[in-house]
A and B are shown apart, each in its own frame.
Chain A
C-alpha cells in the first residue's frame, strides 16, 4: 500500500461513517490541486460531535495498520513454514491456503 492509501485508510478507521472532507481552496482562494489536498492539513471535519484527530493520532493509526499488515505477513510466513515442517510441499500448501 502507498503512504496515501495508508493515510486514507487511517482516517476511515478513526471514526465510523463519513466525517471529513478536504479543504479545496487555500486562504487566498486558490484551488488546491486534488492530489495535494488529501493531506492532514486540509482535513475538514463535517460530522457533528467529531473532533479533528491530531496529526500524531493519525500517524499512530497509520503505524498500527502497517504493523498489523507486517504481523499478518509474518504469521502467514511462519504458518507456511510449519506446514512445510509437517511435510507438506509448496503445491499442497498453495492448495490449502491459496498462497
Chain B
C-alpha cells in the first residue's frame, strides 16, 4: 500500500468541495479580511450578538426609520435637567402638520400668569368732595392667611400705581362707600390711566348710589391696560362725588373693602 502525499500544487483548481470540509472546520483565521459580503448572509442572520457596542453609526440608519417604538423614556429622563426657564433661543422639537421642525422657546413661551398683586386702603378715609384720587392709606395685601400674589409687586406713591413690568394687565377695583349724611347721593367710582405719566383719563367707571344716611354701597370696575412702558403707563383710582357730600371710603387692614387688583395677562 502506498501513501500519496497531496499538496496544493497537486490539487486542481476548485477541487475541494464542501463535502471535503468538516463541519465548523473553517475558522476565522481561514477567512480573508473583507471578503464576506452581504450575499453570504441569509436574511435576519445578523443578531445583536454579532454587533459590537456602538457599532451602528448614524450612517447605518435609514432616513425616517426611527419611529416611536424605538424611543425609550430615557430619551428625556436620561438627559441633564435644565432647572430654569429656557433661553429664548433654546429649541424644542415639534411636528408641524407631520413634518418635524425645531422651534425657539421665544415662540411658545407665555400663556401663564406671571404677575398678580392686591392692594387696599387700610382704614376708612374721607378724601373730600368733588373729583378725588385715592392718594393715601394704600397697603399691599398681607392677610388673611393664604392670600396670593405672583411675581414682583406693584409700587404705589401718592395713589399712583406703577407696574413692575410691561404687558397686558387686567386692572380691577372695588370701592366701598359709606354715607354718614344726606339722602340719595350719586357716587362715581373710577379707574384712571395715563400713557404719558401726566394726563389721566377715565378708563372705567361704576355709578353707585346711597339711598339714605348711613347707607353703604360698592362699585366694581375692570380695565385691561396695554402697558408698553412702565415709566409712562400708570394707573390711579378715585371717584366723583357728584353730590358734594364728602363720602367715606371704607377700608380695612384685615380684609378688602376698597381694593385694587392687578393681573398680568400676557406680553404687550
Please say whether chains A and B are actual partners in one complex.
yes
**Which A residues fall within an 8 A CB radius of B?**
1, 8-9, 11-13, 16-22, 24, 31, 33-35, 37-38, 46-47, 65, 68-69, 72, 98
- In the complex, which residue of chain B has the Cβ closest to the Cβ of A72? B213
A to B CB contacts below 8 Å, 7 in the list: A9-B178, A18-B136, A22-B253, A31-B142, A34-B143, A38-B254, A46-B136
Given contacts A8-B251, A33-B143, contact A38 B126 (CB under 8 A): no
Chain B nearest CB: distance from A30 CB in Å? 14
Q: Is B252's CB within 8 Å of the partner chain A?
A: yes
A24: which B residues are within 8 A, CB to CB?
A: 142, 253
Complex CA distance for A21 and B254, rounded to whole angstroms: 13
The reply to whether A9 and B180 contact each other, CB–CB distance below 8 Å, is: yes
Q: B195 at the A/B interface (Cβ < 8 Å)? A: no
Taking Cβ atoms with an 8 Å cutoff, the residues of B that contact A are 121-128, 134-137, 139, 142-144, 178, 180, 211-214, 246, 248, 250-254
Given A18-B137, A34-B142, A38-B122, 8 more pairs with CB closer than 8 A: A9-B178, A12-B125, A16-B246, A17-B128, A18-B134, A18-B136, A34-B252, A38-B254
Chain B: CB-nearest residue to A15:
B126
- A9 proximity list for chain B (CB < 8 A): 124, 178, 180, 248
Min CB–CB distance A24 → chain B (angstroms): 8
B252 lies within 8 A of A98 (CB): no
